[in-house]
Copies of this chain bind each other. A is one copy, B any other.
Amino acid sequence: MKFRSLTMTLGLICCVVLGALPSVASASDPGPYPDAKASDPAALGWMVGAPPPTDRIIRFDDGTYFKFPQWRWSVSNFRQLMPTTNVSRGTSNPSRLEYALRNDIDSIAFVPTGGAETMTWGQSLDKNYTDGIIILQRGRVVYERYFGVLKPEIQHGAMSVTKTFVGTLAALLVAEKALDPGRKVAEYVPELAQSAFGSATVRQLMDMTTGIRFSEDYANKDAEVWAHAAAGNPLPKPADYRGPRTYYEFLVSVQPEGKHGDGFHYRTANTDALGWVISRVTGRNVAQLLSEKIWRRLGAEQDAYMSVDSVGTPFAGGGLNASLRDLARFGEMVRNGGRYNGQQILPAEVVSDIRKGGNRDDFAKAGYKQLQGWSYRNMWWVTHNANGAIMARGVHGQALYIDPVAEMVIARFASHPVAGNAVIDPTSLPAYEAVARHLMRNAKR
C-alpha cells in the first residue's frame, strides 16, 4: 500500500530531521554535496512563485523537504511542513540587545582539528553551511550574519539544542524543589514503570546515563529510532499500523539494555521521557513551561515553536525552533549566572551545577574522539576546556557556545548536509576558541 510506506518514510524522516541523531554517530563521508554557495536556498528560489515551479516545490509528504539542498530551506520553515505549538514570548517589548559590532572577526585565523592549513572565521561559515551566527561579548552583539533564507525574525530548527532547554527546565524544577532528581522515574510517571525508564532516577535521565535499548542506527529497520519516529509522526497513521501512536506510547515500550548509571549514552528518548516527567510534575507541556519559565522572562524577540505528535505532545528531544537572537539571549542569561532582562531567570546554583559538569569518566566511555575530556550535565555539553566553555549541540550544525572567561556567547544555526557534528566540529570548535582568544586580547570596554 503506497500510502503506508510513505507514512513510514515520513516518520523516519521526521525523526532524523528533528534531532534524534546523536552528535557524532553519523560522521559519514560528506559525499558529493554542493557547497554553501551552490546550495544557497535563497538563490535557488525554493517555494517562490505562485505557484512555485514544479522543481522548486518542497513538500513534507513526499520527503523532498529532507533532500539536500532543499533541506537548507526546510530548516527555516518547519511550521509550514507540520503542525506546531507556540512558545509564546508573551505581550511585552523584547529585551534590548546592545550592539557593538566589530569588523575584525572574519579574518580571525584558526587551524581546523586534524588539519594543517589555517582557515579564517569567514571561510568557516561557508564550510559549515551556516545559516546564521551571532557573537555576544559581555552581552553586546559584536558580530551577526544571516545567510540563505534565514532572517532575524525567522525561527530555525534547533534540533538537539532542544534537549538543553528541557534539561535546564528540569534543573530549574530541581532547584525549586518541585522535582527530586533522586526519585525513580516511575514515581512521577507510573505508566513508565514497566519500561526501562521506570527504574532509572530522574538524574540519570537528565544526564543520559540510563540503560535503555534505543538504537539510532538508521540502517537497521528494526532500530528503535524508527518506532520512535513513526509514533511521533503527526500525520494520520495507516489503517493497518499497529505500533505506538504517540511519543508517550513509544516511551512505555522502551526495553532495558545495560545498567542505569553505567556511563553516558546519548539517546534522544531520555529527553522525551524527561519531558513527560516535567509535564506530569508541572501540569504543563514543555512548550508551555518553556514559555512561562524562560521565553517570557528573557524578553524574547520572537515566539519560538515546537513540533508536536498527534496528541499535541511537543517533541522534547528535538522539536524546538527559535530565532537566532533569542538563542543568544538564552546563552547570555546562562553566562550571567541565570540573570537577564532585569531578573534572575535561573537560580545561580543551576548554572553553577551545569558549569561544573558531569562525570568525565562516564562521558569518556561514549568514545567521542573530538570531545575528549568533556562531560554532560543537565543536557548540556561541558567542554572542560581552559575557559570552561559549555555547549548546546544539535545535528546539522546547531550550536550554542558559552565561554565564561571570554565573556562570550556564540549562537549558530546551520544546514550542513551531514547530520553528525563530528564532520562539523573540526571547523567550528577551534574557531570558537580562536574568537574567544581574539576577543580577550582585543576587548573594547
Contacts and interface: CB of A to CB of B under 8 A. Distances in A.
Contacts of A90: 153
Given A50-B279, A59-B311, A88-B153, 6 more contacts: A6-B236, A51-B246, A79-B84, A82-B83, A88-B154, A90-B153
B86 A83 contact: no
Contacts of A276: 50
A61 interface: yes
7 contacts: A47-B312, A52-B311, A52-B312, A57-B311, A60-B83, A77-B85, A79-B86
Contact of A310 (B61, B79, B279, B301): B61
A220 interface: no
A313 interface: yes
A349 B374 CA distance: 65
B83 A248 contact: no
A307 to B, nearest CB: 10
Contacts of A279: 50
A93 B91 contact: no
A285 interface: yes
A280 interface: yes
Contacts of A30: none
Contact of A91 (B59, B85, B236, B301): B301
Interface of A: 2-3, 6-7, 47-48, 50-52, 57-61, 77, 79-86, 88-91, 93-94, 152-154, 189, 235-236, 238-239, 246, 248, 276, 279-280, 283, 285, 301-303, 305, 308, 310-313
Given A6-B236, A91-B94, A91-B152, A50 B86 contact: no
B80 A83 contact: yes
B312 A80 contact: yes
A236 B61 contact: yes
A93 to B, nearest CB: 4
Nearest to A1: B239
Contact of A59 (B79, B301, B305, B310): B310
